[in-house]
Chain A
Amino acid sequence: MSENTGTMPYISFLHAESKHKGIFKWILSTDHKRIGIMYMMGMLGFLLVGITFGFLMKLEMLTPGKTLMDAQTYNALFTLHGVIMIFLFIIPGLSAVFGNFMLPIQIGARDVAFPRLNLLSWWLYVIGGILAISSLFLQGGPIDTGWTFYVPYSLRTGTNVSLPLFAAFILGFSSILTGINFVTTVHRLRAPGMDFFKMPLFVWAVYSTAWIQVIATPVIGITIILVIVERIFSLGIFDPALGGDPLLFQHLFWIYSHPAVYIMILPAMGAVSEIIPTFAKRTIFGYKAIAYSSLAIAFIGYFVWAHHMFTSGISDTSRFIFSLLTFLVAIPSGVKVFNWVATLYKGSITPGVPLLFVMMFIFLFSIGGLTGLVLGSLATDVHLTDTYFVVAHFHYVMFGGTVMIFFASLHYWLPKMFGRMYNEKVARWSVGLIFVGFNMLYFTMFILGYEGQPRRYWDYLPQFQTLHVISTVGSWILISGILLMIGNLHRGMKRGPLAGNNPWGGKTLEWTIPSPPPVHNFDEIPVITHGPYNYGDEEVK
């Protein structure tokens, strides 16, 4: 296997020249690494906007009644918060950033299968983002439907619904094209000798996700177009006043949006399966179980959508079936958690910051998953759906799950992407603040929900105030932690100490090339002879 050693001069992808000048070197680049970093910048920007909206919502919740904004503003805020977090941050998610940057390298390729299509996906992402943001400034005011756009309200409201919906449509195309690209890349560009079961688990996860993106996303595209058409031409598809069916919308919406939950979480699970072996210096426990459970989740995940509709008036038979299937889809996630913990067993562990984030993830994601069982069970769901219990549940899963691993991955792969290291001590502080703030902010919401506080409420009954105040203070701690973390990463990326090619002693292919990687990743395509986590080999030799 040929290795570029750090001493040999080379041009890193960060500094490579092209026929373009200035910023065009980036925004017209087809290099998968640059595209990954551009997604990262866009997504972090939107994350900060979304967090700002969350912060404002929690401020409003400090007191019952009006604290600083009126109801209409609050309704717009949770809608925008949801739309931004879902469509502009967490659906592109780890696939767009680390899938783009690492997947080709991890399978020993020089780029994705269709580099120009990849750039187009990024541009569609940007255009979708611009459309969504510009809808805020149009007459009529920002959309106030909630991120779920339920009809008939989304047909009746006078706010700007069509433009943000169209933005989501465009973003959907970005997602589909990325999916096609990754599926093809994995099938066609694996290095010689890398059969499917020698692929890193992150590749498995991004690959499974890519299939969901390709198969499920068209459904939301169609649904969105139907809503826009209904708003403009009053065809009578969803609007009962015209003979349409509002539940049809809910079915179509969740046929995409439930699998989308796995688009959000699977790549994060893949990253966990990378970080744990690296920091435990041992092979992953249950490689095949983890790989197959990704596929199982991707597959069963298509058949549980109606658990979002247990109180909508669907037949009792469907409630029975969808509740049962929902319980079954929990199993593969459980299998993954057990295998990850088992991978720590008899390891030789360095608890670096990425691993601390992973530990936090396992704790928070388990709470999110286990409270998912509460919501999958009919008797309890009927009480808790559309309350703060659900708000707590999905923040534990999406934020405690995906976003924590997004943070873990930023720390894990920063030295590879930029060749420099963050400050360890500051990073540990940010982990602590995030953990404490997160649980104050969201655990209280489980209790609020069980006590009967519905979600999407601008005002609330006075008896809920204490819990809301604790939760709001939690949001301040959490946000300070996140800002500290971003500051630290930014500083590390610009001025941190040089990290070397393989600061963690990782085994997957990205650690065999220089940091930051050269433009074409590999001088010579490696030939693969062993699995991805062969930590035992040194001893054998």
Chain B
Amino acid sequence: MFGQATKYAESVDSVMLLIVGISVFFLLGVTAAMIYFVIRYNKKRNPKASQIEGNTKLEIAWIVIPTALVLVMFYYGYAVFHESRVVPKGAMTVKVIARMWAWEFDYNNGKKSGELYIPVNRAIKLELNSMDVNHSLYIPAFRIKEDVIYGRENYMVIQPDKIGTYVIACAEYCGLNHSHMYSKLHVLSKKDFEKWISDN
């Protein structure tokens, strides 16, 4: 259902699981306690309320424990994200050009394409350029996106490790046909890619 296509995507999903796991625990805890109290301390069962003004130890506990937990979440989120920002040596560069409402991918040898073809098991650095307004290059199966902004060159690194075809979408609103600004990412075997790139 949530098809993941790279090791990086798996790491993102595990950060997601970590955060959702802790969150579900807190959500259920808070909700269950709330419902239990409303039933258990209903006026009929408990005609006289106890006036408890607070409890310093509890306040400290529910400041310190969540703080520790969110720091853990922050750390894993950052650590995984950081991988996606390092450009490995020997990465292949492809220049991405976005315009309302189409993608263009320019290769070093001068080849241009409307869909992105890349070899498997090789890091790719995408240099993102816009010709008009903001767009965002989004590959859901790779769990990654980066805005494509007119006047500056952002970059994005992908490390495909499974051969296949994936969706590329535009994730930053760019006007009338924003929802049709799709393209495809084709991850080819090394051999197929050489053939494709040299085939002008």
Contact = CB atoms under 8 A, between A and B. Distances in A.
Q: Chain A's interface: helix, strand, loop or mixed, by majority? A: helix
B152 A247 contact: yes
A376 interface: yes
Contacts of B49: 280-282, 346-348, 535
Residue of A156, A283, A338 with most partner-chain B CB within 10 A: A338
Interface string B125-140: 0000000111010101
A214 to B, nearest CB: 28
Interface in A393-448: none
Q: When A and B form their complex, which 4 residue pairs have the shortest distance between CB atoms, in order from nearest?
A: A240-B151, A452-B140, A377-B77, A378-B81
A151 to B, nearest CB: 8
A362 B29 CA distance: 12
Interface in A477-514: none
A246 B30 contact: no
Chain B, interface size: which category?
35 or more
A324 B74 contact: yes
Interface residues of A, number: 88
B23 A311 contact: no
Contacts of B178: 75, 456-458
Interface in A444-467: 450-452, 454-461
A373 interface: yes
B63 A331 contact: yes
Residue of A342, A362, A539 with most partner-chain B CB within 10 A: A342
Contacts of A460: 179
B2 A450 contact: yes
A349 B147 contact: no
B173 A285 contact: no
Interface stretch (B50-58, B91-99, B112-120): B50-58
A187 interface: no
A369 B157 CA distance: 30
Residue of B23, B147, B152 with most partner-chain A CB within 10 A: B147
A507 to B, nearest CB: 12
Interface of B: 1-2, 11-12, 15-16, 19-20, 23, 26-27, 30-31, 33-35, 37-38, 41-43, 46-55, 58-59, 62-63, 66-67, 70-71, 73-74, 76-82, 84-85, 132-134, 136, 138, 140-141, 143-147, 149-152, 154, 167, 169-180
5 contacts: A150-B172, A241-B150, A286-B54, A376-B74, A377-B19
Given A288-B54, A316-B85, A153 B30 contact: no
B170 to A, nearest CB: 7
A459 B179 CA distance: 6
A145 B20 CA distance: 33
Nearest to A319: B81
Residue of A342, A382, A535, A539 with most partner-chain B CB within 10 A: A382
Given A153-B134, A156-B133, A370-B26, A75 B46 contact: no
A377 B34 contact: no
A338 B175 contact: no
A457 B58 contact: no
